[in-house]
């Protein structure tokens, strides 16, 4: 029996994506070439692996069983290549990461630098979206995995915690609150408060955590993204409550100050999000390993 790894890779791509067109695009093949590989694989096995309909490709009963084994073989082969330095530098393909913007700006630059140095031929697609959309990209299979603070309560995804970060106050360095050791939420009523809008996952977390508080500040400005809120603060337009990661690179010479928020202290947990039961490709798993290694510097 002559079963080639390229044929197995073609079958796994179709099984994962449910479409000849999507699989052909991912593998950089024409649909006719992809179809020939599947026909050859089915011929060698003497089994029908796919049931083709006008709208979608479904796995046959044999195909569902074989897909698990084929994926293990393909991932094992790729893992062997990754363990060989010269081969790793020539490995091609792509991974897609759905990531909330604060993590893209603060956590990923060093990860991407290291990853591309090791695997320069692998395309890394960063899908920087708000928390809800980034989670949806993972559940729809449009991203290999995500870095998010949503997903821990979802039944169809696995959430692996990376680290917990507090929400802090960011304000101009010459602001009256800048030299405080901590600031209570109620005190923000006396200052121009900048918030992220209600469509933001961060706003949802804060609203839930502070639901019992009646003396909360009312925003005078709203932004869609945390990064924009920080930019507004830097422009002297007010103060904002943001995750620690969003301001982790602010140094002593910055025009901004960061102060812990208390009464209560509110935090969020960033984690790796994957579809439940999904086996990451070795290329994607190596990216996750680098994310974990960079956490002490985040």
Instruction: Write out the two tokens for 85.
Output: 């330095």
Q: Average pLDDT of 236-264?
A: 88
3-state secondary structure of 212: coil
Q: How far apart are CA 295 and CA 298, in angstroms?
A: 5
Residues 6+ apart with CB under 8 A from 36: none
Model confidence at 185, pLDDT cuts 50, 70, 90, reads very high
Residue range 262-298, pLDDT digits in tens? 989 999 999 999 998 777 888 898 899 999 888 744 4
End-to-end CA distance of the chain: 50
Model confidence at 148, pLDDT cuts 50, 70, 90, reads very high
Q: How far apart are CA 111 and CA 294, in angstroms?
A: 7
Q: Given this model, what pLDDT does residue 271 score?
A: 94
Domains of the chain: 5-86 (1.10.10.10), 93-162+269-294 (3.40.190.10), 164-268 (3.40.190.10)
For the stretch 220-223, contacts whose Cβ atoms lie closer than 8 Å and that sit 24 or more positions apart, written own/partner, are 220/192, 220/193, 220/194, 221/192, 221/194, 221/195, 222/194, 222/195, 222/196, 222/197, 223/194, 223/195, 223/196, 223/197
- What is the residue whose two structure tokens read 């890394």? 124
User: Are the beta carbons of 206 and 241 closer than 8 angstroms?
Assistant: yes
For the stretch 38-43, contacts whose Cβ atoms lie closer than 8 Å and that sit 24 or more positions apart, written own/partner, are 38/7, 38/10, 38/11, 38/14, 40/7, 41/3, 41/7, 41/8, 41/10, 41/11
The model scores a pTM over 0.75: no
Instruction: Write out the two tokens for 15.
Output: 């099984």
pLDDT tops 80 at residue 87: no
3-state secondary structure of 95: strand
pLDDT tops 60 at residue 249: yes
CA atoms within 13 A on the CB side of 292: 9
Residue range 214-239, pLDDT digits in tens? 778 899 999 988 999 999 999 999 99
């Amino acid at each position: 029996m002559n079963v080639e790894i390229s044929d197995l890779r073609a079958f796994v791509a179709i099984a994962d994506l449910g479409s000849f067109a999507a699989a052909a695009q991912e593998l950089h093949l024409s649909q006719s070439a992809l179809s020939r590989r599947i026909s050859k694989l089915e011929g060698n096995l003497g089994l029908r692996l796919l049931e083709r309909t006008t709208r979608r490709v479904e796995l046959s009963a044999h195909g569902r069983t074989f897909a698990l084994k084929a994926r293990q073989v393909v991932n094992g082969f790729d893992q062997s290549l990754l363990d060989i330095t010269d081969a790793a530098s020539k490995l091609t393909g792509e991974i897609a990461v759905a990531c909330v913007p604060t993590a893209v700006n603060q956590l990923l630059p060093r990860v991407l630098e290291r990853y591309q140095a090791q695997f320069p031929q692998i395309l890394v697609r960063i899908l920087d979206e708000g928390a809800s959309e980034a989670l949806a990209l993972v559940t729809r299979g449009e991203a290999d995995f995500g870095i998010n603070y949503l997903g821990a309560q979802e039944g169809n995804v696995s959430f692996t915690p990376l680290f917990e970060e507090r929400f802090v106050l960011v304000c101009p360095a010459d602001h009256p609150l800048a030299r405080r050791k901590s600031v209570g939420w109620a005190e923000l009523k006396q200052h121009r408060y900048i918030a992220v809008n209600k469509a933001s996952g961060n706003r949802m977390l804060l609203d839930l955590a502070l639901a019992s508080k009646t003396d909360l500040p009312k925003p005078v400005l709203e932004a869609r993204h945390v990064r924009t809120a920080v930019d507004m603060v830097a422009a002297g337009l007010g103060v904002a409550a943001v995750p620690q990661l969003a301001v982790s690179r602010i140094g002593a010479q910055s025009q901004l100050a960061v102060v812990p928020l208390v009464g209560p202290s509110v935090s969020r947990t960033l984690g790796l999000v994957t579809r439940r039961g999904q086996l990451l490709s070795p290329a994607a798993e190596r990216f996750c390993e680098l994310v974990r290694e960079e956490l002490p510097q985040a």
